[in-house]
Amino acid sequence: MKILLAEDDLKMAEYLCAGLIENGHSVDHVTDGREALSYCLYQTCDIVILDRMMPGMDGLSVLKALRAARKDVPVLFLTAMGQIDDRVEGLSAGGDDYLVKPFHFSEFLARVAAITRRKLETPETNALDVHDLHLDLLSRTASRQGRLIELHAKEFALLEILMHNAGRVVTRTMLLERVWNFNFEPNTTVVETHMSRLRSKIDKPFDTALIHTIRNTGYSMHGPR
């Protein structure tokens, strides 16, 4: 999973980055609120870990600007501002969770995982569309340019997750958890095998590829840019 850590306390940031990387995540670190906002507007990540008190622009203002720009990246506030009013303010502004310093790293990891799982939940809709690809969730069928595509159950599950998260990076770990219920299987190639089969059906017969590999991270689905 690709994570943006916006934290100006360098010792705290070093501790968090090391722990996240040890748990298989990719982390980019910024120390300034304006840097965090610019990153989120022009780059992609799976979750933002956001301190509230930062130079340049405070975390709450960063979040408000992101939501105003219709950026729905999950945000976990990680801050010393732990009063009830502070928490309510952060969550009301569009934060997904709020963790107060000091904290246990195991709880921090659990909250990160919970937020990303919630974002991958199937939406309450009957169909998904990305470019010229259509997925009917009621009939469990896929079609592209009007041509029916036969998919096995796991292929359909993969495609549903990718289309629901179109334009965002879906990590290999997320796919293992959601489709195969694996918590951590570093040596398995099941994702790559099924993704190859899915691409042969979704992309290979057509001129435009929709499934894109994000090196060392996972996959993203989007149309031409």
pLDDT mean over 187-213: 93
Q: How many CB atoms lie within 10 A of CB 223?
A: 14
Whether the per-residue pLDDT at 122 is higher than 50: the answer is no
> Quick one: which of 190, 43, 46, 176 has its CA closest to 118?
46
Distance CA 146, CA 197 (A): 20
Round the average pLDDT of the chain to a whole number and report it: 88
Query: Per-residue pLDDT tens for 73-109?
Result: 899 999 998 899 988 999 998 899 999 998 999 999 9
Distance CA 158, CA 175 (A): 7
Q: Residue 7 CA to chain centroid, in angstroms?
A: 19
Q: By the 8 A CB rule, do 212 and 198 touch? A: no
DSSP 19-84: HHHHTT-EEEEESSHHHHHHHHHHS--SEEEE-SS-SSS-HHHHHHHHHHTT----EEEEES--SH
Query: Per-residue pLDDT tens for 148-162?
Result: 999 998 999 999 999
Domains and CATH numbers, the chain: 2-119 (3.40.50.2300), 127-221 (1.10.10.10)
Q: How many CB atoms lie within 10 A of CB 180?
A: 15
Token couple for 9: 């306390």
> Quick one: which of 74, 17, 86 has its CA closest to 40?
74
Token couple for 128: 């998904």
**Residue 182: its pLDDT value, please?**
63
Whether the per-residue pLDDT at 175 is higher than 60: the answer is yes
The position carrying tokens 């999973």 is 1
